[in-house]
Every structure is written in C-alpha cells, then in structure tokens.
Structure 1
Amino acid sequence: MISRRDYLRLCMAVSTGSMLKSASLWANEKSGMASGILITRRIPSSGETLPVVGLGSSATFSSAAGSHDVEALKQVFTAMVERGGSVFDTAPSYGASESVAGGIVNDIGIRDKVFWATKLNVAGYGGGKADVARARAQIEASFNAVRKPVIDLIQVHNLGDLPTQLPLLKDLRDQKRIRYMGVTTTFPSQYDYLEKVMRDEPLDFIGVDYAIDNRIMEERILPLAQDRGIAVLVYAPFGRSRLFSLVKGHEVPGWADELGIRSWGQYFLKFVVSHPAVTCATPATSRPKNMVDNMGAAYGDLPDASMRNRMAQHIQSL
C-alpha cells in the first residue's frame, strides 16, 4: 500500500518533460491500469459510453486559468486523455476556465477527444426578450470558446430560470448543435425542484453533488435518474476538499488494495462511481499528478454493496 502523499510525491519527482510518461508507467503498474480495462458507463438516452472519471474546472482549475498557468492545465488535459478520460465539465461562471480550456484543447489537438460539458447560467427569472438574448449570447460564447460545431452537453446551471433557458437547449438539441441537455444543482434547497424537473422534462443529464459523506442523493435523486433514464455527472466527489481534511494523518486501509485503490482520492472516487446511477465524476484539479491519481480510479474493480458499506463505515469512524 502506498499513501496518496507518497504516490503524488513520486509523480512530482520527475521533470516536467518526462512526468506524464513516467507517471503513466507507474499508473499502468500500480493503479489498476495493468488490467487495461477502463471503466465506462452508458448514457441512457443514447447508449454512448463515457469513462467514469473526468475533469471539472471550478476551484483550483479556475484559479489556474485566471492566473494564466496554461502549461500546467495543458498537462492536466494530456494526463486525462492519455489515460482514457474524456469528460470535461465547465461553465461560463467559472472565471476564465471555459475560454482557457477551449484554447488548450485546440492548441494540443485533443478537442475532438474531449466530451465537452458546459452550462447556461443567465437567469433573469423574467423570461423577457432581454433574458433570452443574454442566454443566446452566452451559448454562442461557449461555442466560440471551444471552437466545436457541436457541443456535447449544455446544462442549465443550478436550475436557473428554466422556463427561459430550457427551451433554448431543447431547440439546440433539435437542431443538433448540442448532443445532450440537462440541469444541475448542488443546493439542497433545490432538490425537490430537481425531482420535479426530472419527472417533467426530457433530460439527458443531471449534475449533482455526491460524496461518501454526502449521500442524500442515494435516497431519491439517483434512483429517479435510473428510473427516468437520465445520466448523472457527479460534482464535489471529494466534498470540496472536506474529505481530504478528514483523512489527513490516516493511511488508506489495507483491505482497499483488493479494489486497486492506492490513494484516498481513488478511495473516494471509486465509492462514488460504483453507484449504478452515476455516469461520471468530475473532480476539479489544476495539477497533473492529481489527474493521474484520479484516473487510477477508472481502472480495476469497483466495490459491491458490501464493500461500499465497509468503505462508508470506515470514513464515519475517523
């Protein structure tokens, strides 16, 4: 067993030029990638498969984008794609994330390898012409950022003004300018409304918060997604770093090795993506070594119900 700290230190030890190659060899040998089996899930509305681990662009990614630390973010994208990842989740409200990431995927030639998921968050709650015009302008800005003729997924951010914004996404999907549409929220006060929207609207995706210590989604939202055939993107699978603070000073339990888990990050991610309703988890990072580690959770075995209980109980005991 190797701790996340030691694993990440190993990845940092090599030079920038050789880091990804060396880290890839390490991952192949030690992180479940030797099996060569990338864990994927189907999008219910189409049958298309996606890797269960991707990349988010809030938090540290957004900070790096705002500081124009483009080289590190290029390495993050390269690390994800080299290990079979494809899903990138962003939003116009994440500072410079969307525009900087759009430039990166074009500059390094991986635009068509990335499943581009962005959001619509112009919410005037009035439904007037000005709100519609602002929403359309934001959509076009997203197209300009990534420079793709078709965006894979646009979701209404935090259920904002759905009567205004959701029809725009329906039209874009009908026009085949976007492939999928959905809604997101990470606010408990909106969960009841989310359930209603999931029942009433023809959604392809939802995006929600879910973590080993934040399991309220298991009660109604995730089962409903399965019933309705809606794909699920998971945000904040590390509890916005809360979980790393909880396990600080603790080693990953030895019994987790049977799942190929080599770090706390993989422990948390494997728990999240093992729920059958979850399509992909998208933790944000601006560090290539963290992206390497995260992608290790997309290989090897996933916990069954008994192991999930054991994993959750262990975290509760800390």
Structure 2
Amino acid sequence: MNYSRREILQLYGCAGLGMTLTPSLFSFSQIQKMGQRTIPGSGEKLPMVGLGTWQTFDIGNSKSELEIRKQVLAQMYKMGGSVIDSSPMYGSSETVVGEAASQLDSQDDFFYATKIWTSGKQAGIDQMTSSCRKMKVKTMDLMQIHNLVDWETHLRTLRNFKEQGKIRYWGLTHYVDSAHDTLERIIVAEKPDFVQFNYSIRSRNAEKSLFDTCKKHGTATIINQPYESGSLFRKVRGKDLPGWASEYGIASWGQYFLKFILSNEGVTCVIPGTSNVKHVIDNMGAGYGRLPDGNTREKMAAYLVSI
C-alpha cells in the first residue's frame, strides 16, 4: 500500500501545513508494503505490526468512542496491518473489536486473536464461544491461553478445536520475564503454533533462550509490552532522536522502540496498543523500510541508556 504526501497529511488532519512542519510523517510514504514474517507451522505470512486492545478498546457502549476505534482499525488495515489481539480480560474490548470491524469492508481480512482466561474445560469452551460471538467471527484465527491459566486443561480443548476447524492456530501468553522458563518447557513438550510474551529494548530476557526455543520448535512469536506500559516514553520525554536513526526510517520514539523489536528476526509480530489514529499510523510505519542490524541494535540500546 502506497501513501502519498497528501494522503498522510489528510490522515493527520494537517493538510496545508507543509512538509517542513511534519517531517516524521514521510519516512514510510514511498514504501509499497509493510514487512511480513512467516508463521513457521503453516507458511502463512503476517504483517509485522499489529494492534493490542488492552485498556485502549475497553470503552463500554460509547458510540463516539466506537467510531474512533473503527477509524483506528481502518487506518491499520490501510497501512498493511491485520493482527488484532484481545481477551475476555479486557472488559468490552472483544465486543468493541467485533462492532468496529463489522462496519468495515476489511472485516474478513483481519487476523483475529483472543484468549481463554478462565479455569475448567466447559468454562473455557463457553468463553471461547462467547469471544467468537463478540468478535463476530465463525473461526477464530488464534486462540491463546491467557497467562497460562489452567493451560493443561485448555490445551487439549484447543487441539480439538483446531482439528474441528473452529480455530486456525492455538498458543500461550504471558507478560513477565519470570514466566519465560515455563513457556519454554511447554513449547518443547507441546509445540504450540504461537507464543506471546514481553520483549522490548530494555527488557531483553527473551533473548537468552526463549527466541531460540521458539525457532527450534517452529513456534511463531507475538510481542506484548513493547513500550513497557508507557515507561519508555516517559524515559525519552523531551529528548531528541539520534541523528543516525533517520538512516532506518525512524521518525519517532515509537518507531525507534518498535524497529528495535522487529530487527530481531525471531519476532513474528508486535502488538502495540492504541486508540489514537495518529499513533496507529506511526506504529504501522515501523513495519516499513530498513531494519537495524545487530550492531545498530546495540547502539540503539546504548543510546537509550545514555540519555
């Protein structure tokens, strides 16, 4: 998908301001397609940047807020993104995803992911059925066991659901370093299609062995907590990007943090959460253009420490 200068200005609501006032909007305007990564178990390609919905899509019944989320999904799709990750834990988020997506022509083109967040076989089945109804999908693309809750019970159900065509992929999630060893043990024993975990420029525990384990056993990875719950932005508030960042099409701190993550070839998709149209455009921009090499990755991390 190719954005023109005028289209990007219009998306940001700044048509007529001139390129000199909005230089960060143009770093990805001439790239034809967002980068993609392969799901090892199937060979299917996924766009590298998706969307998380924790807190950001939990808006209850507000029609005005729903319209904003609809715009977020529309712009994500226009820029080549497709992965939407949710959970029953996230309040009204699943319902909001389903309602917003159903109003778009691209509804059937998204990659829908959600989670089981309960204990017991039947409770898990009931929750998955409810999630599909809320998100308005007949077949869930990815069903994950949220934070490993009763994972041994749900694993058997998910395998059966996949065989029956009720889900396409199954996986596991967690969001803290202390869970990585457990995730690795399950990956080795059970070979999930996906595993979702935390990883960022300052939180690199997964580099020790988790990424290698995923690669060895053909498990795709989804990265959560890319901004460390916003603490990375607090760290760089008022600070300038290094001049050399522009060599990699990095035009914002958000893209700096996401491109660091994406430059790890073990990452299949990263899912920053937002309810802001401008921010989703910026996030998607990280999936375009050149990615840092190994030396530059360390340079990026060191620069963050130095400021």
Fold shared, TM-score > 0.5 on shorter chain: yes
More relative contact order, 1 or 2 (CA 8 Å, 6+ apart): 1
Shift of 1:38: 1.8
Match of 1:126 in 2: none
Change in 2 beyond 3 A, CA 1:174/1:260: same
The AA in structure 1 aligned to 2:103 is: D
Going from structure 1 to structure 2, the CA distance change for 1:191 and 1:225 (only over 3 Å counts) comes to same
Shift of 1:37: 3.5
- Residue 199 of structure 2 corresponds to which residue in structure 1? 210
Secondary structure at the aligned position of 2:142 is classed as strand
Superposed, which structure 2 residues align to 1:124-203 within 5 Å?
131-203=120-192
Partner of 2:300: 311
* Mapping of residues 50-129 of structure 1, within 5 Å: 50-62=46-58, 64=59, 67=62, 69-123=65-119
Deviation at 1:14, TM superposition (A): 4.2
- Structure 2: unaligned runs, 5 residues or longer: 1-7
Judged with a 3 Å threshold, the aligned counterparts in structure 2 of structure 1 residues 9 and 246 are, in CA distance, closer, same or farther, namely farther
Between 289-298 and 146-155, the greater mean CA deviation after superposition: 146-155
Secondary structure class of the residue paired with 1:61 = coil
1:273 equivalent in structure 2 = 262
- Structure 1 CA distance, aligned partners of 2:271 and 2:23? 19
Residues of 2 paired with 1:250 and 1:28: CA distance?
15
In 2, Cα distance between the equivalents of 1:273 and 1:211?
A: 10
Corresponding position: 1:42 with 2:65: no
Give distance in 1, aligned partners of 2:213 and 2:51.
Answer: 25
Q: Deviations over 1:40-82 (max 9, x none)?
A: 00000001011100100003333x4565510110110011000
CA contact (8 A) 2:24 2:251 kept: no
Which residue is equivalent to 2:276?
Answer: 287
Could you tell me how far 1:157 is from its partner in structure 2? 0.4
Summarize the Cα distance change of 1:310–1:66 in structure 2 as closer, same or farther, 3 Å threshold.
Answer: farther
Q: CA RMSD in A?
A: 2.2
Write the deviation string for residues 219-269 of structure 1: whole angstroms up to 9, x where unpaired. 111111111111000001011101000000101111000100100000000
Structure 1: gaps spanning 5 or more residues: 1-7, 16-21, 124-130
Structure 2 Cα separation of the partners of residues 253 and 11 of structure 1: 26
Shift of 1:33: 3.5
Alignment-mate amino acid for residue 313 of structure 1: A
Find the aligned partners of 1:146 and 1:152 in 2 and give their Cα distance: 11
CA distance in 2, matches of 1:52, 1:236: 15
Sequence identity of aligned pairs in percent? 38
